Amino acid sequence: RCRWIPTQLASHYLVVNIPAFKLYSYQNDSLAWSMNVVVGKAQHKTVIFNGNIKYVVFSPYWNVPSSIVRKEILPAIRKNRNYLQRHQMEWFGSQLRQKPGPNNSLGLVKFLFPNSHSIYLHDTPAKSLFNESARAFSHGCIRLEDARKLAIYLLQQDPDWNVQRIDSAMHAGVERTVTLKKSMPVYIAYFTAWVGRDGKLNFRRDIYDRDKRLLEAILK
């Protein structure tokens, strides 16, 4: 799997290791900090790819994917007519969306790196899930334990966005998109074994059952 990582990396970049349920921030090839994440469950696997974070969206709407509307929301509406109101949802044309706020499924901020997989990083109101050791609960997107920390990190070089303004935008209840002055590379990876910087060998459970297929392909 190391073969699939570019040989030339930027001085600053992010890595999400799916089986470790972790996001790592690297600066000049040194680990600066990390945080727990929630990734996609087995039937909604988080895709392995890389991109560049270009936008920070404060107080985001959640545009509910049509598959979730069909399989989850519509059956819930048939059982409870007040479901949309209770969950602060509304129809916007033919699109169902959830209004910004503390109960929004995307939390108070999301981070977009345009891609064909519709995958992004975002906050979440379901903080208790980060206490679990195995954190594969999402529909494919990556939930962050401390999204505020990432927002501050990505905007630290922008004089227009200090910590107070970031906090205000996160709780404004009005969606606002900020374009980063410099995009941040992010790599979504799948490593079930690696050697840490302390020299210790790490193993993680193969949550998507990829190792056997990859080994068979290599042996062939």
Q: How far apart are CA 60 and CA 56, in angstroms?
A: 10
What's the rounded Cα separation, in Å, for the pair 30 and 115?
A: 27
The two structure tokens encoding residue 30: 């040194």
State the angle between helix axes of 147-154 and 163-170 in degrees (0 to 180), rounded to the nearest 10.
Answer: 130
The end-to-end CA distance of the chain, in Å, is: 16
Residue ranges of E strands in the chain? 12-17, 22-27, 30-40, 49-58, 62-63, 89-92, 95-98, 109-112, 121-122, 136-138, 142-144, 176-189, 193-195, 201-203
Three-state secondary structure call for residue 197:
coil
Residues with catalytic roles = 122, 141
